[in-house]
Structure 1
Amino acid sequence: MIKLEHLSFSFPQKELYTDVSFTLEEGQHCAFIGTSGSGKSTLIEILMDPDKHLYDGKLTIDPDCSIGYVSQFSQVDPTQHMTVFEYIAEPFNKIQDELTGIYAEMATTSDMDAVMEKYQLALDAFNAMDGDNFENVINKQLNLANLMNLKDLDVTSVSGGEFKLIQVMKEMISRPDLLIMDEPDVFLDFENLNSLRKLINSHKGMLLVVTHNRYLLNHCFNKIIHLENTEIQEFDGRYIDYNFYLLQTKIELQEIAVAEREEIERYDGIIDNLREIATYNSEASRGRALKARVRFQERLEARRIKAPFVDIKQPKITFANGPELEDVAVINVEDYGVSFDELLLQNVTFEIKSTDKVAIIGPNGTGKTTLLRDIFRNEHEAIRINPDAKIGYLSQLQGETLKDSNTILHEFIDAGFDTYDEIRAHLLHYGFEGEILEQKIESLSGGEKNMLQLAKVAAAEANVLILDEPTSHLDLYSQIALEKAVQDYKGAILMISHDFYSVVNGMDYVLIIDNKSIRKMTMRKFRQMIYNRHFSKDYLHNEQQKKAVELKVEQALKNENFELAKVLLEELEAIIKTL
């Protein structure tokens, strides 16, 4: 077990945690969630190397506890030429080499007891990994992830998404007591995401996974740790049940808050009456009654419900609509092709009209990002952009649109804002306020950088948006806010996304990469294809019902109709049981 008790930690410019506690126990697969920039990655660093950080509180980890780690920025060393199988097998080979060295040491040592102790530790580690059967272990993992075809390829030749899965397999095969993964799903296509789900669910050890991916959250975890507003909340159970618990809590707390408000308003009236009486009646008893009522009112105010996990600040993303265009083509692509070491795309032809919202879907490494970049730059002979089109661009490579050495304020001065006050007012909607505006962009989290990109695109008054993985690194609340902004936008959108929910909730149709070209697919067929591969038969229908009831609950809460909200909650609980 790993136990964190009453931990507090802050940077000079920001408080991250205040008296937070949680435990991780054997067999738990824990999702670690929270808004971007709330300190999830920093807390992981504290768990992995407590001595490097000055914090208040107590962290209890067994000294023999082994911790594995998969970074959100995992990249293969380009000079490291070995097959995928050899790369995954490195932990086995390392222990085998260690055992061979110990055998040689046994022949010459004068301290056999010490050598035997070292031998037993190495042998235990080897057996824990099922070392005598390591080829079958690796093959089983490769099959589970549908990557057996990569087994004999050079590890430097695989795509970024494939390498992320290979890194996960390598760490899992080492069988650490705790495996920590920081956003392992970022940029994974649908098939690789499904493979990651299988790997997570097959793992027998303790897991702590930072993720904002709704597909993984709904299908992989039995514990939730939620970091929000410097506080932590633990929940033992599925993410979908945790969401239900939050909604249930929200109803209860809002009902209490309304009752408290009414009570405070009633006491405000009593106090006003007593003050009025005191102006023409100076009896001491009247004065004492007034003071008592004021003190009681102060106590009511002081005990107001604090609910950081049900009143989370959601960004207000709004894409300013640029000059409106008639129903004309804004992007024309005709016979486009691209290749690097091999041919990626050929004979690609499509057009995007002025109000189309379109997702480009395809496996990792098939040329999608290159296509979008060529459209944005408008320098390719196969691409024509309507001269009245004004394009807003969000890049998967954040350094293309953000300058790391800039502060947030200066980034937006460079973007054309006139005053700091104008920038502050705009960025407040995106969760940036106070001292963080003076921070350099290089110090921000991946989610915060993507929010800055969205803030720049939103202010551009574009009539065409080109978005390359806009949900990457974004927390759940920002993803939902982005979906709404996409739905409300009046112009054209061409988007690469591997987030199923963003595609089905916001796009008109999809362009599927198929056999190095692109074909159009209706949203109905796309939904059917994804659900046939990744979901049970009635999942889509039940999930749509769930969302509809949740919206009804929210409306009932706005109307302070708590009885209706509770009835709807029972209906929602029945739907959740089917999921």
Structure 2
Amino acid sequence: MIKINNLSYSFPNKDLYNNISFTLEDDQHCAFIGSSGIGKSTLIDIIMDPERYMFDGTIEIDPNCRIGYVSQFPKLDKTKETTVLEYLGEEFIKLQNEIASICTEMETASDIDPLLEKYQEALDALDAIGGDDFESIINKKLNLANLDYLKNLMVSELSGGEFKLIQVIKEMLNGPNLIIMDEPDVFLDFENLNSLKNLINSHKGMMLVITHNRYLLNHCFNKIIHLENMELQEFDGSYIDYNFTLLQTKIELQELSAADDEEIERNERIIKRLRDRAEVTGETAAGRYLKGKMKFLERLEARRIKTPFVEIKQPYIRLTTNNAVEEKIALKVNNYSSGFDKIILENVNFEIKSNDKVAIIGLNGTGKTTLLKDIYKNNNTSIEIDSDIEVAYLSQNQGEILNESNTVLEEFLDAGFKTYDEVEIYISNYDFEEELLNQKIESLSGGEKNILQLAKISASKANMLLLDEPTSHLDTYSQMALETAIKKYNGAILMVSHDYYSIINCVDYVLLIEDKTIRKMNMKKFKKMIYAKYFDKDYLEIEQKKMDLEMKIAISLRNTDFERAKALSEELEALIKSL
């Protein structure tokens, strides 16, 4: 259906791909993975509209291939006066109206042959998406996603997570040959993440899905495309098998690469001695030997093992404060309520201490973001923040905190930095290279924007952080770096999160929103609730151990401790078998 051949593409200040190739065929559910900012979304844009881009190589798409697309940032039209059922049925209704209109025309037309052709095309299109049984098909999809309760709601009433799932269902209902989805899991609560998994696994047809979500990766895909350092490799099989194979390959390649480096360094030392000797003595034999050694060194460097997937791109995320305070009540919420047309939170009460790390959890649409924003604005009489507390905020809507028309440099100069060099040194700690300084923020990936928000928050030196979905759009290693930063932070953190591992690895307790109010829950009860309602206990615990082992292997490779990496790999293999 789709074939990419030797594709190369560059921005003015950044090379993205170098002769990458892959194919997508019938019934493949393909996960598209790679570090944040590596060019995954851009590649999808090129596939969707190749005429807009100047690239080398070819893209072959079957002319009969119909592509459905779910955006990374779907726009919810709050003014749309239509129910979810009507919204999902728009294509069916449009085709039915078109058929009715053609039939009306045929009653008075003198030449009905062209109309008969249009009539048949409309019938074929309707048949391709399920025919007259569209309402039953919609109901089945909604039931599969546990969203049947939304059917008669107005689209404008949906939360961001609910709307994203409705977008997935709508694209599936339109019967495309290929569905492309860009991070469809972002902002989904635990229940809706399971719904997305069910929808993906029930779909009969090709899929290409960008995701960093390990739960989806482990449960939904039979092909992996991995983009890293301008190169791409594809793997037919599960993510678990691919990831383990990749780790083993990394160990082998990096060990060989280290041996090559050692041999090259040894020959460089010999050449230096020979060159010094030839210059001093003028011996012809020494000169000939020198030339021979230089030719040998050229051959060594030419065959040097290339390891584009060995180097791990992991930012060093820091969250710092200059104004840590002794333990006290940093935030007090008394009888807080919120809602517009209807009450979503009522009589909410809780306190956060100056060194507490707390997660707010709850289903999509229960008011978590609204509460966090009200705390940040601090103009509600139900909210009291201690006078020694300075607050910084990370928004899931990145444009609220970052001026996306700014360059990265301009954003930090506006934030109080004095010079180009000061900004360059500071953001280099977050894995931003110098060439990105003059890049517009709007052109960055979702993951890069989140890391930029974190860098800006850290620069503020605030001693209380309000983080709304901080792990969204981040790749696995960036998420781990953020977890480390949160644990080391010497202040209070209140974060909205649907990421199970970030919650259990970082926070002291959770605040659960349920039935329009909030109750405090310790970590033991939180885990018990998750195991009972959403995810298998054994899977979650084994996956945590797997991630820990993978990180230890990565650190061992970085330290060229190959024996330890091999031992850890054997431990990881035994763990995978237990799945």
**Paired residue type of 2:232:** I
Please state how far the C-alpha of 1:482 moved relative to its aligned partner. Answer: 1.1
Q: Conserved in 2, the CA contact under 8 Å of 1:69 and 1:181?
A: yes
Residues 322 and 390, structure 1, Cα contact 8 Å, conserved in 2: no
Can you list the C-alpha shifts for 1:227-267, whole angstroms capped at 9, x where unaligned? 22222221222222222122112101111122112212322
2: CA distance between counterparts of 1:6 and 1:111? 50
Q: Do the aligned partners of 2:190 and 2:534 also contact (CA within 8 Å) in 1?
A: no
Aligned to 1:86: 86
Cα root mean square deviation, aligned: 2.2
Q: Give distance in 2, aligned partners of 1:438 and 1:281.
A: 53
In 2, the alpha carbon distance for the partners of 1:281 and 1:145 equals: 82
Q: CA deviation at 1:281?
A: 4.2
Could you say which residue in structure 2 is the equivalent of 1:351? 351
Q: Which residue of 1 aligns with 2:268?
A: 268
Name the structure 2 match of 1:503.
Answer: 503
Distance 1:185 1:381 in 2: 35
State which drifts further: 527-536 or 357-366. 527-536
| 1:141 paired residue number | 141
Give, in whole Å, the separation in 2 of the partners of 1:76 and 1:554: 40
Query: Residue 182 of structure 2 corresponds to which residue in structure 1?
Result: 182
Q: How does 1:463-474 map to 2 (within 5 A)?
A: 463-474=463-474
Q: What TM-score do the two structures reach when normalised by structure 2?
A: 0.94
Is 1:337 the counterpart of 2:323? The answer is no
TM-superposed CA distance for 1:117, in Å, is 4.6
Q: CA deviation at 1:276?
A: 4.9
SS in 1 for 2:405: coil
Question: Structure 1 residues 225, 140: CA separation in 2 closer, same or farther (over 3 Å shift)?
Answer: same
May I ask how many residue pairs the two structures share in their alignment? 579
Determine if the alignment matches structure 1 residue 217 to structure 2 residue 217.
Answer: yes
Q: Deviations over 1:370-401 (max 9, x none)?
A: 22122222222222222222222212222322
Q: CA deviation at 1:308?
A: 2.2
Q: Which residue of 2 aligns with 1:428?
A: 428
Query: Which residue is equivalent to 1:399?
Result: 399
Aligned-partner residue type, residue 354 of structure 1: S
The verdict on how the C-alpha distance between 1:462 and 1:410 changes in structure 2, with shifts beyond 3 A counting, is same
Change (3 A) 1:315 1:559: closer
AA matched with 1:292: G
What is the correspondence of 1:135-534 to structure 2 with a 5 Å cutoff?
Answer: 135-278=135-278, 281-534=281-534
Is this contact kept in 1: 2:183–2:473, CA < 8 A?
Answer: yes
Q: Is the 8 A contact 2:320 2:490 kept in 1?
A: no
**Structure 2 CA distance for partners of 1:551 and 1:7, relative to 1, 3 Å:** closer
1:161-199 deviation per Cα after TM superposition (whole angstroms, max 9, x unaligned):
212111111110111001111222222222122211111
Query: Secondary structure at 1:518's aligned position in 2?
Result: strand
Tell me the secondary structure at the aligned position of residue 538 of structure 1: helix
8 Å CA contact retained: 1:331, 1:351: yes
Q: What letter is aligned with 1:213? A: N
Aligned-pair CA distance for 1:554: 3.8
Q: What is the percentage of aligned positions where both structures have the same residue?
A: 62
Partner of 2:130: 130
Q: How far apart are residue 344 of structure 1 and its match?
A: 1.4
Structure 1 residues 563 and 398: CA distance shift in structure 2, 3 A: closer
Residue 37 of structure 1: how far off its partner (Å)? 2.9
Q: Is the 8 A contact 1:391 1:466 kept in 2?
A: yes
2: distance between equivalents of 1:526 and 1:576?
Answer: 26
Read off the aligned partner of 1:223 and give its amino acid letter.
K
CA-CA distance at 1:9 after TM superposition? 2.0
- Counterpart secondary structure, 1:543: helix
With over 3 angstroms needed to count, the CA separation of the structure-2 counterparts of 1:280 and 1:229, relative to structure 1, is closer
Indicate the larger mover: 264-273 or 383-392. 264-273
CA distance in 2, matches of 1:173, 1:226: 29
Letter of the 2:80 partner, please give it: Q
Task: Using the TM superposition, give the Cα deviation of residue 280 of structure 1 relative to its aligned residue in structure 2, in angstroms.
Answer: 5.4
Read off the aligned partner of 2:211 and give its amino acid letter.
Answer: T
2 CA distance for matches of 1:25 and 1:52?
Answer: 24
Secondary structure at the residue paired with 2:437? helix
Letter in 2 for 1:427: I
Quick check: 1:427–1:455 contact (8 Å CA) kept in 2? yes
Q: Which moved more, 1:116-125 or 1:2-11?
A: 116-125
Q: Distance in 2 between matches of 1:530 and 1:158?
A: 24
Q: Comparing 207-216 with 488-497, which one deviates more in the overlay?
A: 207-216
Task: Summarize the Cα distance change of 1:443–1:561 in structure 2 as closer, same or farther, 3 Å threshold.
Answer: closer
Q: CA deviation at 1:407?
A: 2.1
Q: Secondary structure at the match of 1:438?
A: coil
Give the aligned residue type for 2:86: E
1:543/1:80 CA distance change after superposition, 3 Å:
closer
Q: Say which SS state the counterpart of residue 338 (structure 1) adopts.
A: strand
* CA distance, structure 1, for counterparts of residue 317 and residue 185 of structure 2: 24
Find the aligned partners of 1:158 and 1:323 in 2 and give their Cα distance.
40
Counterparts in 2 of 1:111 and 1:239: CA distance versus 1, 3 Å:
farther
Residue 15 (structure 2) aligns with: 15
Unpaired runs of 5+ residues, structure 1, are none
Match of 2:63 in 1: 63
Shift of 1:81: 1.9
Distance 2:549 2:114 in 1: 66
**Where in structure 2 are there 5+ consecutive unaligned residues?**
none
